[in-house]
Amino acid sequence: MFDVNAMFKLSYGLFVLTAKADGKDNGCIINTVMQVTDTPMQISVTVNKANYTTMLIDETREFNVSILSEAVQFSVFERFGFQSGRKTDKFAGFDGVKRSRNGLLYLTEMTNAYLSAKVVKKLDLGTHIQFIAEVTAGEVLSDIPSVTYAYYFANIKPKPQTEKKKGYVCKICGYVYEGDPLPDDFVCPWCKHGAADFEAIE
Ligand code: FE
């Protein structure tokens, strides 16, 4: 048997992945950063090919990872997760950033560390690309614990406004689809997750 809920027991952190090409900065929210070796110090990052940030990393082979802390506010997910950098400047009006040595941005607020890395290998996984990268710099920014995916769901994501509504709610961001049935090819307009991440409103 395979119960997909078993997958949801895996624990993840949450990160803002930033890159820059041709003078344009971009960043996106990911949950897929992990250390893979310590000599040399290498991390892996897996990102959707459709993400603008993925394209920038593929081009420049450099990125920063800002490690989000439990102080992170939902607005950071709206800013970096629920809109595309192709159409907007995700950093417009956002002060909590600095440039690291490599010239890329990292978040100075609501984070507890950042890492700079250089891609050494790339693996094509169909919908996603996995980059293996060597860590070139890193700095601790606060002592607040790193936020986990579970903490985000329990404490940061606003409770969806489903009262008196009929339809489906996105488990990732709380978007409410009013109607029945939910089309199989439906894509959440906020977070871009598919119909599989929706559940019926009780
Ligand atoms: Fe969503």
DSSP states of 71-138: T--HHHHHHHHSS-TTTS-TTTT---EEE-TTS-EEE-SSEEEEEEEEEEEEEE-SSEEEEEEEEEEE
* Contact partners, residue 148, CB within 8 Å, separation at least 6: 11, 12, 13, 14
* Contact between residue 80 and residue 65 where contact means Cβ atoms under 8 Å apart: no
Dist. CA 61–CA 113, nearest whole Å: 21
User: What's the pTM?
Assistant: 0.89
Secondary structure of residue 153 in the 3-state scheme: helix
Q: Amino acid identity, residue 166?
A: K
Task: Return the higher-pLDDT residue of 125 and 157.
Answer: 125
Distance of CA 178 from the midpoint of ligand 1 (Å) = 14
Distance of CA 184 from the midpoint of ligand 1 (Å) = 15
Position 28 pLDDT exceeds 90? yes
Position 202 pLDDT exceeds 90? no
Distance of CA 173 from the midpoint of ligand 1 (Å) = 4
Q: Cis check for the bond before 40: say yes or no (omega within 30 of 0).
A: yes
Q: Write down the pLDDT at residue 135.
A: 98
Mean pLDDT of 93-102: 96
Distance of CA 198 from the midpoint of ligand 1 (Å) = 8
pLDDT band at 80 (very low <50, low <70, confident <90, very high): very high
Distance of CA 43 from the midpoint of ligand 1 (Å) = 28
Of 32, 34, 70, the closest CA to residue 150 belongs to 70
Distance of CA 195 from the midpoint of ligand 1 (Å) = 9
Where is mean pLDDT largest: 48-52, 129-133, 187-191? Answer: 129-133
Structure token digits, residue 9: 């027991």
Strand partners, 27: 18
Distance of CA 143 from the midpoint of ligand 1 (Å) = 30
Q: Write down the pLDDT at residue 155.
A: 95
Distance of CA 44 from the midpoint of ligand 1 (Å) = 25
Distance of CA 118 from the midpoint of ligand 1 (Å) = 31
